[in-house]
Amino acid sequence: TLSSGQRMPMIGLGTWKSSAGQVKQAVVAALECGYRHIDCAAVYGNEQEIGEALALCVGPGKTLRRDELFVTSKLWNTKHNPEDVEDACRTSLAHLGLSYLDLYLMHWPMAFRGKELMPRRDDGTICYSDMHYRDTWKAMEDLVEKGLVKAIGLSNFNARQMDEIMRVAKHKPVVNQTAYSPLGSGDRPWASPDEPRLLEDPKLVGIAQRYQKSPAQVILWHTQRGMACIPKSVTPSRIQQNLNFDFKLSQEDMKLIDSFTCNRRFIVPTVVRDGKTVWRDAEHPHFPFHDPY
């Protein structure tokens, strides 16, 4: 239960990297097998196809009523200027074929400057803007007032940045989304072939074998800790499998999984500069991961 009083399903279908021609059938398969939470974002570039899937399944005369579904989308970094926020939200709504979003997140605390999703200078670096997320937040609050969104929240913010928002917020953020990519996102664009792959970790595989479950099912232990998570898949059998929680991990196995660490962040975008892999946006004035999380 969110602070807004809304009920958010613990498991949502992630749609990042779900490509054209795949995401529509993935969303339909998810809704048919019981998912009621779909996690979207403008930058994923697939909201129109997700909207086609929702049109097949949700609404008068369809399998689901709109109020049975929880849909999240996110404001992209190039739309942080307050005058751009409402148009960005309305564009996502039009693509999804919805009259409101259950939850709208500021995708990152970092603003970019330009019209392209990833505006770049001649040397390939991102064009950053120093637009402050506090100002963006005020424009997001207007979306609640206008009924375009039920609630607003954050994604990838550190504790200090969240506190700054809380101090000025009329509508408090209901979430800070940080538990995305729970399966490790081995297909993320900046992954290197020598990185450890979460679902192949011998300790995790051993736990899965004891329970006769897949490593993916085991690593979705977040729900047993009372945390929502959003695994992504476009394979119907895996989509259904990820929703199957007919088992419970022992306290010993919970502690074992809790001890997993590679002492690095895998989902923060990286680039190679001067032969060294570095965080792409570490020079942005509002990059969140210099602070302790």
Q: What is the pLDDT of residues 71-130, one digit of tens each?
A: 999 999 999 999 999 999 999 999 999 999 999 999 999 999 999 999 999 988 999 999
Ramachandran bin of 171, using left for φ above 0, alpha for ψ from -120 to 50, beta for the remaining angles: beta
Mean pLDDT of the chain: 92
Task: Give residue for tokens 């051993």.
Answer: 206
Cβ–Cβ under 8 Å, residues 283 and 110: no
Residue 103's nearest CA partner among 41, 164, 57 is 41
The stretches of 75-214 forming alpha helices (DSSP H) are 82-96, 133-145, 159-168, 202-211
CB-side neighbour CA atoms (13 Å) of 51: 18
Which two three-digit tokens encode residue 247? 């088992």
Q: What is the pLDDT of residues 186-204, one digit of tens each?
A: 777 777 887 888 889 999 9
Q: Is 284 labelled as part of a ligand binding site?
A: no
Crossing angle for the helix pair 251-258 and 202-211, to the nearest 10 degrees: 160
What pTM, to 2 d.p., does this model score?
0.94
Residue 33's nearest CA partner among 15, 16, 13 is 13
pLDDT of residue 281: 95
Active site residues: 44
What's the mean pLDDT in 8-23? 88
pLDDT of residue 196: 80
Between CA 61 and CA 74 the distance in angstroms is: 29
- Residue at 207: amino acid letter: I
Between CA 272 and CA 6 the distance in angstroms is: 42
Domains of the chain: 13-279 (3.20.20.100)
